[in-house]
């Protein structure tokens, strides 16, 4: 790539970032929420480390990845940059060891097996790994714990943080079905918030984080109480095909 196109790409990314931030701020105002009550995680899967570096230079600090191998390679490429990494993809138990301690937040704990494996690896590494539980929002989805099993999994995750090393349960995440319009996503987000409120009351813990909302529906998610939105396409443009 020549210098002109590199500069062009950087400007495009920064412009997109500013536009997403402005839309988030407007959604916060509309909902009567403080602008700093929602964090933006830029979902960088399939995009190169150079794009991430450009966005860091425009002030973006939190990035999310969905595939462990790809994420770890980018982390290695970007050592020294001030980045807080999120892991948002489906995670196999056998990959638990490679992600523990390398992501500020793992959004996708959805089984007892994965929780136990992550906790074991966290204890070995003597870290307290912040996590969210991913909740299944529709039968066409494979990921996420069923609502009926959520309380038991949450209790387990809480118990896996006792003693200071292991897992630190911060809240819930969802990836609802793709709707035709953002308005249709609202009830799904409202539902996750209510699940969170009920669970927090039942277990007597705060569970402050709600990770919900992507490019097509982050404003609706903010209206329903999202504390973390995960935005890829609106910042980076369409994802390149995976090679």
Ligand X SMILES: *Cc1c(COP(=O)(O)O)cnc(C)c1O
Provide the binding-site residues for ligand X, judged by CB under 6 A: 43, 45, 66, 88-89, 175, 214-216, 230-233
By C-beta, is 3 or 140 nearer to ligand X?
140
Cβ 94 to ligand X, closest distance in Å?
Answer: 20
DSSP designation for 149: G
Residue nearest to ligand X (CB): 232
Closest approach of ligand X to the CB of residue 229, in Å: 9
CB of residue 160 to ligand X, shortest distance in Å:
23
Pick between residue 123 and residue 230 the one whose CB is nearest to ligand X: 230
Query: How near is the Cβ of 235 to ligand X at its closest, in Å?
Result: 8
Contacts of residue 37, Cβ cutoff 8 Å, sequence gap at least 6: 28, 227
Q: What is the DSSP letter of 35?
A: G
Q: List the one residue out of 64, 93, 24, 82 whose CA is nearest residue 173.
A: 64
HSE-CB of 20 using CA atoms within 13 angstroms: 31
CA distance linking residue 174 with residue 138, whole number of Å: 10
Question: Cα(55)–Cα(42) distance, rounded to whole angstroms?
Answer: 9
Nearer to ligand X, 114 or 166 (CB): 114
- Residue closer to ligand X by CB (options 24, 88) is 88
């Amino acid at each position: 790539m020549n210098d002109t196109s590199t500069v062009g790409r950087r400007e495009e990314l920064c412009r997109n970032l500013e536009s997403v931030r402005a839309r988030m701020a407007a959604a916060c105002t509309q909902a009567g929420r403080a602008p700093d009550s929602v964090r933006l995680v830029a979902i960088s899967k399939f995009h190169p480390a150079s794009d991430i570096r450009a966005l860091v230079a425009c002030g973006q600090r939190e990035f999310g990845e969905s595939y462990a191998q790809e994420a770890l390679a980018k982390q290695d490429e970007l050592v020294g940059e001030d980045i807080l990494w999120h892991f948002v993809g489906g995670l196999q138990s056998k990959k638990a060891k490679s992600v523990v301690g390398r992501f500020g937040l793992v959004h996708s704990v959805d089984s007892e097996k994965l929780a136990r494996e992550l906790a074991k690896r966290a204890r070995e590494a003597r870290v307290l790994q912040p996590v969210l539980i991913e909740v299944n929002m529709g039968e066409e989805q494979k990921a996420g714990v069923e609502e009926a099993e959520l309380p038991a999994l949450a209790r387990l995750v809480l118990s896996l943080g006792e003693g200071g090393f292991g897992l630190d349960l911060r809240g819930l995440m969802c990836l609802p079905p793709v709707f035709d319009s953002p308005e249709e996503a609202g009830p799904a987000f409202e539902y996750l918030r209510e699940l969170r409120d009920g669970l927090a009351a039942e277990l007597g813990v705060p569970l402050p984080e709600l990770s919900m909302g992507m490019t097509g529906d982050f404003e609706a998610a903010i209206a329903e109480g999202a504390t973390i939105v995960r935005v890829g396409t609106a910042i980076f443009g369409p994802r390149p095909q995976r090679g």
